[in-house]
Chain A
Amino acid sequence: MNCEEAIRLMDGYLDGELDPITSQAIEQHLRDCGRCDQAYKTHGSLIRAIANATPYFKASVELRERIQSSLREGTTEQPLRNGVRGAQVLFHKRQPESRPSRWETPWNWLGLAAAIIFAAIIALNVVPRLQRPGADQFLATQLIASHVRSLMANHLTDVASSDQHTVKPWLDAKLDFAPAVVDLSEKGFPLIGGRLDYLDNRPVAALIYQRRKHFLNLFVWPAGSDAARGAKAMTRQGYQLLHWVDSDFNYWVVSDVNGEELQEFKELFEEQVPHH
């Protein structure tokens, strides 16, 4: 990252709209470059001051009432206001709608009903599947950001202990659920500690494991009743993600170790988790 690039990305960074990797690169640059750091600080505080001081024009009560009554008059051709002004001509060239066809024949209604049912079937079956990847992509970005932050901000653990009987009570006291905590030292994934995190709009538990020189963040939170079973692996920005769900919890593990090792971790973890 050079100064030119850092300045070009300044607004995106200050608005929190950059991906975690780019943000991290910028933070690195700002630590090294006093001029850019100063430029970011000056621009950031100016933006905040301007945003706070910009007058916000709320709607008057009269406007609210006018809109409500115009909606109740339906879409009949009422003039906007008593005064006649140019804008009205512009706005009320509504196309005559082909409403009458709705009254002509019951076949249309049958067709419409069939179309609605068909659309509903499609919506119920297909759309959730189409939407899931989008939601997962978004979550994946959050997970990676959280993983990266935990490694760079010197805040890997809130409670550093390789003892599962220390980590678990600590997490249980802070959360409204009690995640399973297991130590996998003997299997090559020693437990490092636990941390609270915030993901998917809720507090979650993060368990940190180590694999040689690498760290794994295992994020755990209660699974919804509709959660899809089965594991899912993803690679994003050079990180490996693996997701699975058991009877109680959602699990996402993020790391830079390879996919097979994550898979191995999942299997070891599941073996150790008490089933009920």
Chain B
Amino acid sequence: MPGYYANKIAMALPLITADASLTKDFESNRKIVKFVVVKKPEEQPTEELLPFEEAMLPHLDAAHNLAKWLLRNEEDAQDVVQEAYLRAFRSFSGFHGTNGRAWLLTIVRNTSYTLLKKRHAVDLTTTFDEEIHATGHESVNPATLLEHSEDAQLIKEAMDELPAEFREILTLRHQEGLSYKEIADIAQIPSGTVMSRLARARAKLKECLKVRIGMEK
């Protein structure tokens, strides 16, 4: 019986009830008796909902962008963002900060990682293979690299090759312009780690770009 918990049965009534739309047959044990479960009307949500939407819907693009980069798949990104908003709404009463975007992005990030872990995504962290493209791009000079770095498609392909923690930090810094402190809070790493992780992510991205440019030649 999805949606009905035993501890939520408010009353047992005879089968005939005034408001049939709120009833649902419930046969726990045919030998005993037939019950009707009266579902308590949901509490009116709009009072809480409007301030929530006002505070959080402006960050929908940021939420979707982060999820899309982390999951690399539109359907998953949409599911994660929807789930993140539901989670955020449930804990909104506990949010007293002023940085709604960072708070929401933390939830989006955690929800994304839950899904990535469930999928056994192998690229969550960098430990698996930092040296994947160690050779073959020495010929690409800085000027060529700079020239190609305006190619959105190329950057997308190179970004998608990176581990999730690199995609995450590059998105938060390059696209959301968040401070190191905010990034540390969202990615749940010490503040002192942000600079070195960002440096590694950028170096790795450069490397991936060079390999792709080298292949094009």
Say yes or no for B202: interface residue by CB 8 A criterion.
yes
- Say whether A51 contacts B65, CB under 8 Å: no
Cβ of A87: which chain B residues have Cβ within 8 Å of it? Answer: 76, 79-80, 115, 118
Could you give, for residues 1-36 of chain A, a 1 whenever the CB lies within 8 Å of some chain B CB and a 0 otherwise? 000000011111001010000000000000000000
Could you give, for residues 67-105 of chain B, a 1 whenever the CB lies within 8 Å of some chain A CB and a 0 otherwise? 011000001111111110110011000000000000000
Shortest Cβ distance from B60 into A: residue? A59
Say yes or no for A235: interface residue by CB 8 A criterion.
no
Say yes or no for B24: interface residue by CB 8 A criterion.
no
Query: If A46-B149, A67-B85 touch, does A51 touch B174 (CB 8 Å cutoff)?
Result: yes
Cβ of B5: which chain A residues have Cβ within 8 Å of it? Answer: 96
Cβ of A49: which chain B residues have Cβ within 8 Å of it? Answer: 146, 149-150
Say yes or no for A155: interface residue by CB 8 A criterion.
no
- Say whether B86 contacts A53, CB under 8 Å: no
For the complex, give the distance between the alpha carbons of A77 and B86 in Å.
11
Shortest Cβ distance from A102 into B: residue? B43
Cβ of A12: which chain B residues have Cβ within 8 Å of it? Answer: 180, 195
For the complex, give the distance between the alpha carbons of A70 and B170 in Å.
30
Query: If A46-B149, A49-B149, A71-B53 touch, does A58 touch B180 (CB 8 Å cutoff)?
Result: no
Shortest Cβ distance from B82 into A: residue? A67
- Say whether B79 contacts A58, CB under 8 Å: no
For the complex, give the distance between the alpha carbons of A125 and B31 in Å.
62
Could you give, for residues 51-66 of chain A, a 1 whenever the CB lies within 8 Å of some chain B CB and a 0 otherwise? 1111111111001101
For the complex, give the distance between the alpha carbons of A77 and B171 in Å.
32
Which residue of A10, A15, A55, A66 is within 8 Å of B82 (Cβ)?
A66
Could you give, for residues 118-150 of chain B, a 1 whenever the CB lies within 8 Å of some chain A CB and a 0 otherwise? 100000000000000000000000100110011
Could you give, for residues 73-103 of chain A, a 1 whenever the CB lies within 8 Å of some chain B CB and a 0 otherwise? 0111100110001110011000010001000
Which residue of B69, B115, B198 is within 8 Å of A90 (Cβ)?
B115
- Say whether B60 contacts A67, CB under 8 Å: yes
For the complex, give the distance between the alpha carbons of A60 and B83 in Å.
16
Closest-CB distance, B46 to chain A (whole angstroms): 8
Cβ of B15: which chain A residues have Cβ within 8 Å of it? Answer: none
- Say whether A71 contacts B89, CB under 8 Å: yes
Cβ of A54: which chain B residues have Cβ within 8 Å of it? Answer: 152, 155-156, 159, 170-171, 174-175
- Say whether A90 contacts B118, CB under 8 Å: yes
Cβ of A53: which chain B residues have Cβ within 8 Å of it? Answer: 149-152, 155
For the complex, give the distance between the alpha carbons of A233 and B3 in Å.
61
Shortest Cβ distance from B80 into A: residue? A87
Say yes or no for A68: interface residue by CB 8 A criterion.
yes
Shortest Cβ distance from B74 into A: residue? A57
A interface with B by C-beta (< 8 Å): 8-12, 15, 17, 42-43, 45-47, 49-60, 63-64, 66-68, 70-72, 74-77, 80-81, 85-87, 90-91, 96, 100
Report 6 cross-chain contacts, Cβ distance below 8 Å, ordered by A residue: A17-B179, A55-B156, A67-B60, A71-B89, A72-B49, A85-B79
Q: A56-B61, A58-B61, A67-B81 are in contact. List 11 more A-B contacts (CB 8 A).
A: A12-B180, A15-B198, A42-B146, A45-B146, A49-B146, A52-B150, A71-B45, A71-B49, A71-B86, A72-B45, A72-B49
